[in-house]
Amino acid sequence: MRPPQTDGTYAGMTQLRPFTVSALIAGTALAPLMAVVLVAAPATPAGAQQVPDQPVEWTPRRLNQLDRNVRRLERAVTQRNAAGDPVLIETDPEVVVLQGVVDNMQRRLSDLEATVQRMNGDIERLTFANDEAQRDNAAMRRLLTDSNNRIAELEGQLEAVAEANAPIVVDSPTGDARQDFERAIRLANEQDVRALRALEVFVITWPDEPQAREANYRLGDLRAEAGDQPGAVQAYASSLSGWPRTSWAPDATIKLASGLDATDRDEQACAAVREFFERYGEGAPTTLINRAERIRDQAECEA
């Protein structure tokens, strides 16, 4: 047996010295990598130049290969430990540095995630506040629109009341009898407060126009609705001047007779009933004939 040398080894035997290797755990995070040494190599001659290591480019293929090698080394270490032959294990400095970089990146990533969560919360709150503001604005617009409409309606009513209460004088809103008449009838059909004055103005402004009789007939209706029976009788009588043969003449005659009866002018009411039967009775609607007979009974007219 050869005598041991001063470093504890035997001459001619291979010296064991540590080498570090890195291991990568598959996935998105790097785990602490441990270097495992079980490599036999001849002693480095004294004075030999050390060639600087070239930086390693960690491609997916190289990383996969490194992972397989680490697994092999792990199995080898396990077998050597089981056989009672300890293996020197050192931490790879590059791995320590890399792990520090990874930890720093993970902390920064956590900070970014927390910042994003806070921003998302702020965005949700701002979105909710914006939705509420839009709803409030829409409600305010509706309220403002309703208020403007009500104000415009009130202004129109005030103008209509002022026009309705204006003095009855000769006046032509359009300068044309036909157009003035159509305007007055339209107001009457719409039950506008200005209708009464419009008809009264028309009959004194255009007394000789063909539309004057019908205007008086419609004026009698409005006065009767307002409870002005004497005024209604006067308007109906004016509409029947000359006993026109129009579709509304029979109705105007019965309304005239009814107004005379209501104002205790029975003799004149009976005369109006006689005119109805003589002039319009033939072919008159049954409803008008029945009303004429009731008036005749109420006024105690002679048969």
Would you call 90 helix, strand, or coil by DSSP?
strand
In the chain, the percentage of residues whose pLDDT exceeds 90 is 44
The CA distances from residue 73 to 14, 64, 195, in Å, are 20, 14, 110
For residues 259-269, average pLDDT:
93
Asked whether residue 257 carries a pLDDT value surpassing 90, the answer given is yes
Would you call 248 helix, strand, or coil by DSSP?
coil
pLDDT in tens, 81-129: 888 777 666 666 777 777 888 888 889 999 999 999 999 999 999 998 9
214 and 248 Cβ atoms separated by less than 8 Å: yes
Q: Give the residue from 15, 18, 17, 16 showing the smallest Cα distance to 91.
A: 18
> In which band, very low, low, confident or very high, does the pLDDT at 5 lie, cut at 50, 70 and 90?
very low
Asked whether residue 271 carries a pLDDT value surpassing 70, the answer given is yes
State the pLDDT at residue 16: 39
> In which band, very low, low, confident or very high, does the pLDDT at 263 lie, cut at 50, 70 and 90?
very high
- Which of the two residues, 164 and 17, has the higher pLDDT score? 164
User: Which alpha helices (H) appear in the chain, and where do they start and end?
Assistant: 60-82, 93-164, 177-189, 195-205, 211-225, 229-239, 249-262, 266-275, 286-298
**What H or E segment, with its residue span, contains residue 91?**
strand 89-91
**Positive/negative CA dihedral, 42, 46, 48, 52:** positive
112 and 42 Cβ atoms separated by less than 8 Å: no
pLDDT in tens, 69-81: 888 888 888 887 8
pLDDT in tens, 186-198: 999 999 888 999 9
158 and 194 Cβ atoms separated by less than 8 Å: no
**Structure tokens given for 161:** 């009341």
Q: What is the value of pTM for the model shown?
A: 0.50
